[in-house]
Amino acid sequence: MSVLIRGGRVVTAADEYIADIFVEGERIALIGASLDLEADRVIDAAGKYVLPGAVDPHTHLAMPWRGETTIDDYESGQTAAAFGGTTTHVDFCIQGKGQSFAEALEIWHGKREGKAVIDNGFHIAITDLATDERLAELERLPEEHGVTSYKLFMAYKDSLMVDDETLFKAMQAAAKSGALVMVHAENGDAIEVLMAEAIAAGNTSPRYHALTRPPELEGEATNRAIQLAHVAGAPLYVVHVSCAESAEPIALARERGWNIWGETCTQYFFIDQSFLDKPDFEGAKYVYTPPPRPKANQDVLWNAVRTNVLQAISTDHCAYLFKGQKDAGVDDFRQIPNGGPGLENRLQMIHHFGVRDGRISLNRMVELLCTNPAKLFGLYPRKGTLAVGSDADVVVFDPEKRVTISAATHHSKADYNLFEGTEVVGSPELVLLRGSVIVDGDQLLAKPGSGQFVQRARFGEQLV
Ligand SMILES: [Zn+2]
């Protein structure tokens, strides 16, 4: 099977030019001007952008947590991703207490089998490193399972949080094994105290989700993780940076030349703390962690992605139903499942409000959404760019298409959309995964089970 994508504006992290792309089998075979080649399928991309398939480094599909499971499984979550131009994501495989990493990975592989419509890898989320056996197994994960990133939670004291000893040991293991350490950076102990005080004072509504997790506690944990990683000699990636307090220590560490990277997520540019005050419990839709911050942080984050203080934009897609899941916390904000949907709209939102509004360049958008996540997480150059030999993961993007984002038309099972009613100009029209058209307009053409698990390479710090 061969495909010729003709006459589009090819955009990578570095370049922008009009060219034809010839795909043979699953890979890009040739890029050139006016290619005189026969192909099984010819796609006219004149007037369109031709982008690398986007890579989302932070998602939670079919994740059980505190008795609820995120509403998007691999099929619905990856379908939403595909329509949004994301062809690869790295999902979190959560180790249960007392569980081996191999057991956890087997369970997560089971979740995607027969359902996957795009490619994905796994990060391992460590909750238990109590034995030497487990620590040794952690060091073998890159070699044995193609899992080259370790995530640790510094918050959620009742479930996922690890102490500093565990965090530090995981960092030492990563320094040995060549993995990248990822942290959810918030001070879980202090948050626990503030949450108990709020409830004791009768403060039960969604806004207290933000007020009990102040930005300083994200900043403190970010700095703590940075210092610990530096001592351990491990590279560190701080997930979902939401505020100035957390961006600042990352900027400082990078100025010093330390191996520190960070991401923010689409929603932090658009949703601020006041959304939690929406009437009729609607604030619960915006209960994710870290919480939406005061609006001034939005400019801080745009500047951070523009100036390379932060290197990636993910979605932290962690979808729950507003009616039927989020409402478990109607009388106690602590019981609202933490998370929001977002996998489908990242490219549309960042293209419109980032590129069209002049905050970042088209190249930088590709870098933040495709190339850097691929480089940081061992997928490059197979994923994250358009180059001869790369997987033919391609988005034909119509920069003038008008779309009104809505839960009525999105592909997630979530019964709401974080950006409901937002009008954007620019949207994916055709999406290819390894040479096969998986989305054509409003049609999903991928068969469940056709997405592949990707073994990832070890972290290469020189690449970003
Ligand atoms: Zn997350």
Per-residue model confidence as pLDDT tens digits over 393-407: 999 999 999 999 999
For residue 188, how far is its CA from the centre of ligand 1 (angstroms)? 15
For residue 356, how far is its CA from the centre of ligand 1 (angstroms)? 28
CA dihedral for 83, 86, 88, 91, sign (positive or negative): negative
Percent of the chain at pLDDT above 90? 98
Q: Bridge partners of 236? A: 181, 260
For residue 242, how far is its CA from the centre of ligand 1 (angstroms)? 12
Task: Name the DSSP letter for residue 178.
Answer: T
For residue 316, how far is its CA from the centre of ligand 1 (angstroms)? 5
For residue 395, how far is its CA from the centre of ligand 1 (angstroms)? 25
Say whether pLDDT at 3 is over 60.
yes
Mean pLDDT, residues 35-39 taken together: 96
Question: What does pLDDT average to over the chain?
Answer: 97
CA distance 325 to 328: 6
Say whether pLDDT at 281 is over 60.
yes
For residue 318, how far is its CA from the centre of ligand 1 (angstroms)? 7
pLDDT for the residue numbered 463: 53
| Residue 94 near residue 104 (C-beta atoms within 8 A) | yes
Secondary structure class of 428 (helix, strand, coil): strand
For residue 151, how far is its CA from the centre of ligand 1 (angstroms)? 10
- The per-residue pLDDT for range 226-249, each reduced to its tens digit, is 999 999 999 999 999 999 999 999
pLDDT for the residue numbered 459: 84
Which two three-digit tokens encode residue 33?
């001007």
Task: Name the DSSP letter for residue 391.
Answer: B
For residue 11, how far is its CA from the centre of ligand 1 (angstroms)? 29
For residue 312, how far is its CA from the centre of ligand 1 (angstroms)? 14
- 41-44 and 2-11 as β-strands: parallel, antiparallel, unpaired? parallel
For residue 15, how far is its CA from the centre of ligand 1 (angstroms)? 31
Say whether pLDDT at 21 is over 50.
yes
CA distance 45 to 410: 24
Residues 6+ apart with CB under 8 A from 12: 52, 363, 366, 371, 385, 386, 387
Which two three-digit tokens encode residue 56?
């989302």
Match 């006041």 to its residue by tokens. Answer: 274
Position 75: which residue type? Answer: E
81 phi/psi in degrees, rounded to 5: -60, -50
Secondary structure class of 42 (helix, strand, coil): strand
Percentages helix, strand, coil for the chain (3-state, rounded to 5) are: 35, 25, 40
> Predicted confidence band at 460 (pLDDT cuts at 50, 70, 90)?
confident
For residue 262, how far is its CA from the centre of ligand 1 (angstroms)? 13
The separation between CA 414 and the C-alpha centre of its own chain, rounded to angstroms, equals 17
CA distance 15 to 31: 13
| Residue 193 near residue 164 (C-beta atoms within 8 A) | no
- Report H helices in 115-187: 132-145, 164-177
